[in-house]
Amino acid sequence: MFNALVLEQPVEGTKVPRASIQSLDNARLPEGDVTVRVAYSTLNYKDGLAITGRAPVVRQYPMVPGIDFAGTVEASDNGQFRVGDPVFANGWGMGETRWGGLTQVTRVPAKYLQHLPKGMTARQAMCIGTAGYTAMLCVLALVENGVRPDSGEILVTGANGGVGSYATALLAARGYQVCASTGRAQHTDALKALGASEVIDRATLSAPGKPLGKERWAGVVDSVGSHTLANACATVRYGGVVAACGMAQGLDFPGSVAPFILRGVKLIGIDSVYAPMEARQLAWASLAEIDPGVYDKIASEISLPEVVDYAQRLMEGSVRGRVLVNLNV
């Protein structure tokens, strides 16, 4: 028997799933050729949306949320993975169309799994999780499109969130000058400790703006969307690059083509859910180089029974950085 957070069909007339910790047996596990004993999972923004019902993330019930996990192989019908191997997975529709990681045991197709990078623990992998991996995909997109440390300032929006925190730290570690945008000024010192050279109020970007503004940013990592993304694009320097990966403010893009046709700005969409394995491996190989001291600056740890409460707090904007879920307490 094992414990899992299970979301069931919302009560008629509501959108909030019924969430409970349930004791299950292996007969309830989804299809797959590798069974994993989960050590750590995480609570991400998408998980918060699913648990609170604020967006139709879950496509079928019952569902175990959690878009990533790390642990050890308990059983395998695939030669790539042996019993005892440390493994992890993120994305691939987990927590949406198939069971996710907020469970002590799961079963997945081998094609979703990766071996933990050498020297990285399950806890460290989930301190990074989907948020850190997405941030690295954004950083690599800037690099691959010619944005260098001497190109100019990099704007990171939603900087107190998981993606924003890691983007700030990763860029600063590579020598970039980072300007962090946040609505929580009380965390200015924490962002500067991660490497931000300047912290600005998100209100300067979140209201409707002009098609073009004064050129400032050489690159942008945006996890917010809506007016924030539009204003970021409008103030990027000629030939600059914007990596867009989130929608915390909204899915809309109330902007103009002006930055793209008059300044040659590149807007690159970053998908972490179904990114090909080659891109994942490249990102995680780079993430393995992170100074372990960064993890505790970004991540806090909770237990499985605390997840539902933290999901609500996450949606209210009162949670900073990464939320690590320890499945063994």
| Cα torsion 125, 19, 108, 164: sign | negative
Q: Work out the angle between the directed axes of helices 162-173 and 122-144 (0-180°, nearest 10).
A: 70
The yes-or-no verdict on residue 74 having pLDDT over 90 is: yes
Q: Any idea which residue has 């623990």 for tokens? A: 121
Residue 163 has phi, psi (to 5 degrees) of -65, -45
Q: Which residues pair with 326 in a beta bridge?
A: 40, 303
Instruction: Please check the confidence at residue 171 and state whether its pLDDT lies above 90.
Output: yes
Domain 2-116+293-326 is found in CATH 3.90.180.10? yes
- What CATH code would you report for 129-269? 3.40.50.720
pLDDT of 255 higher than 90: yes
Q: Look at residue 269 and tell me whether its pLDDT is greater than 90.
A: yes
Residue 282: predicted pLDDT:
94
In the chain, CATH 3.40.50.720 sits at 129-269
Q: Examine the pLDDT at 270 and tell me if it is beyond 90.
A: yes
Q: Looking at residue 184, what is its pLDDT?
A: 86
Q: How far is CA 307 from the centre of its chain?
A: 16
The whole-chain average pLDDT of the chain stands at 95
Domain with CATH 3.90.180.10 in the chain: 2-116+293-326
